[in-house]
């Protein structure tokens, strides 16, 4: 009981949050033979308010008004973290430039999801376990632009805001430390008196409550409880709850994970000169975000592989009719830049909404605006980004078996072994860099690991 209380009250290491994310994907796949998809559901929820409050169809002309119970579950799961820890993150004060970057990030990200055929969760946590060629292309094309967005943020002097998670205890302890700037910690800040925050919270409540009303008390929108049944609602909510709770307990995000390996080629002085906390640099160099990322990916990949080999499930398609389109190449950079500007990919932004982060609130209207170019001109855009496939192969094993010989099954097993190798590497590299033991790496949360390592250096 004491250990459970400790887990609920304190933040977790990335790997444990990744376990919850992987478990959410497995539960969803077991039921629906697919990975979790969220961005279209986001658009459908915007469409409800459009139609029933404002009588317009800017998003609704393409996306049927509806509710996505996984999104509701993710926000609720993150809110449960706030309750368990006794701490909302509304206390974190953001400079208006950081909020503007988050708003722009929301626009870039949501438009990127339309031309990339999904968000980073779709491609990284779903597509990579499903061995998708397109998902790897989205990841690899996005990495340089993630660093570009990071650099732009530093030019605007926002480096101090980049950290995996905020806790008041840590912020108070290190607020004056020269190596760990914490501009978000302002003891006199009163979020309930911040007019911008009040407006953004009203926007969030409208986004959530209008679809919830129609989903619970009518049959007029897609996904209404009376339409799909409470069993389906429960199943979707459980997946969302696990994902939101896991992300909220550790700050799990795809953008941190894919940027972590590149930090090995960046000097600490670059971070220090640009006002980025040394704790963030140490977190990256310790591969801690990558550990959570790889735990989720390996778990889900092995479940997909086992289901496929036993002929009780299929390999989900993350690409479309063809295995790769120009949209994947063009959309990857937009997703990467948007995720960095928001300080979180899409599902991490859901969790940050549930926890009260102002950057997530600022990103929400940006998401809506980012959908509009696509919904207004989707026919013209689709001709460019999805008009011609670049390969017929959907998965890497499919391509390898055709090109190099062997069977898809053998290549799929080899692919899984490679993912397991990356998982082992992330833990071993992190253990060595942080100069700690494997039990400590597994037991201690991110703040405990990185600040201890910083104090030793």
CB 142 within 8 A of CB 336: yes
Average confidence (pLDDT) over 255-259 = 87
Write the secondary structure of 219-259 as one string of H (helix), E (strand) and C (coil): CCCECCHHHHCHHHHHHHHHHHHHHHHHHHCCCCCHHHHHH
Average confidence (pLDDT) over 290-317 = 98
Percent of the chain with pLDDT over 90: 92
- Pick from 36, 17, 19: which is nearest to 302 by CA? 19
Enter the pTM of the model.
0.96
For the cut 80, the answer to whether the pLDDT of residue 1 exceeds it is no
Average confidence (pLDDT) over 85-100 = 97
CB 211 within 8 A of CB 221: yes
Q: How far apart are CA 299 and CA 15, in angstroms?
A: 11
Percent of the chain with pLDDT over 70: 100
Neighbouring-strand partners of residue 132: 395
What pLDDT is recorded for position 365?
98
For the cut 90, the answer to whether the pLDDT of residue 45 exceeds it is yes
Question: Quick one: pLDDT band at residue 128, thresholds 50, 70, 90?
Answer: very high
The CA-atom distances, in angstroms, between 431 and each of 107, 139, 150, 188 are 38, 26, 26, 39
pLDDT tens column, 385-428: 999 999 999 999 999 999 999 999 999 999 999 999 999 999 99
Residue written as token pair 């950290």 = 163
CB 161 within 8 A of CB 105: no
pLDDT tens column, 150-208: 999 999 999 999 999 999 999 999 988 999 999 999 999 999 999 999 999 999 999 99
What pLDDT is recorded for position 123?
96
Question: Quick one: pLDDT band at residue 91, thresholds 50, 70, 90?
Answer: very high
Q: What is the mean pLDDT of the chain?
A: 96
For the cut 90, the answer to whether the pLDDT of residue 226 exceeds it is yes
Distance of alpha carbon 115 from its chain centroid, rounded?
18
Range of lowest pLDDT (197-201, 230-234, 271-275):
271-275
The CA-atom distances, in angstroms, between 366 and each of 34, 94, 117, 197 are 28, 17, 19, 15
């Amino acid at each position: 009981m004491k250990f459970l209380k400790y887990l609920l009250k304190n933040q977790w290491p990335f790997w444990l949050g990744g376990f919850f994310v992987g478990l959410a994907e497995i539960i969803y796949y077991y039921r629906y033979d697919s990975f979790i998809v969220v961005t279209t559901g986001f658009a459908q929820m915007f469409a409800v308010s459009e139609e029933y409050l404002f009588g317009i169809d800017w998003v609704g002309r393409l996306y049927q008004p509806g509710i996505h119970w996984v999104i509701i579950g993710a926000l609720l799961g993150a809110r449960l973290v706030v309750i368990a820890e006794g701490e909302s993150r509304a206390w974190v004060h953001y400079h208006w430039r950081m909020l503007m970057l988050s708003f722009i990030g929301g626009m870039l990200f949501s438009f990127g999801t339309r031309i990339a055929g999904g968000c980073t969760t779709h491609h990284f946590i779903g597509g990579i376990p499903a061995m998708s060629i397109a998902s790897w292309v989205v990841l690899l094309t996005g990495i340089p632009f993630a660093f570009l967005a990071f650099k732009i943020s530093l030019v605007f002097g926002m480096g101090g805001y980049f950290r995996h998670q905020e806790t008041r205890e840590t912020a108070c302890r290190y607020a004056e430390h020269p190596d760990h700037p914490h501009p978000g910690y302002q003891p006199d800040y009163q979020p309930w008196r911040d007019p911008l925050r009040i407006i953004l919270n009203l926007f969030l409540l409208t986004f959530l409550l209008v679809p919830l009303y129609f989903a619970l008390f009518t049959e007029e929108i897609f996904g209404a409880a009376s339409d799909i049944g409470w069993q389906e609602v429960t199943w979707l909510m459980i997946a969302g709850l696990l994902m939101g709770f896991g992300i909220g307990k550790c700050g799990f995000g795809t953008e941190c994970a894919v940027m972590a390996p590149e930090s090995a080629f960046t000097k600490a002085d670059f971070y220090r000169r640009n006002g980025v906390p040394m704790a963030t640099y140490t977190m990256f160099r310790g591969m801690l975000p990558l550990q959570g990322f790889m735990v989720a990916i390996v778990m889900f990949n092995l479940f997909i592989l086992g289901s496929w080999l036993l002929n009780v499930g299929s390999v989900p398609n993350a690409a479309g009719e063809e295995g790769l389109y120009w949209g994947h190449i063009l959309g990857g950079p937009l997703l990467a830049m948007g995720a960095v500007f928001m300080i979180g990919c899409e599902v991490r932004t859901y969790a940050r909404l549930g926890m009260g982060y102002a950057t997530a609130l600022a990103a929400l209207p940006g998401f809506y605006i980012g959908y509009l170019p696509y919904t207004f001109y989707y026919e013209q855009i689709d001709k460019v980004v999805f008009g011609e496939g670049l390969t017929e192969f959907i998965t890497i094993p499919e391509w390898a078996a055709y090109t190099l010989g062997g069977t898809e099954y053998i290549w799929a097993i080899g692919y899984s072994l490679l993912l397991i190798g990356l998982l082992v590497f992330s833990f071993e590299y992190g253990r060595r860099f942080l100069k700690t033991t494997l039990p400590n790496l597994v037991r201690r949360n991110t703040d405990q690991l990185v600040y201890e390592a910083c104090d030793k250096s």
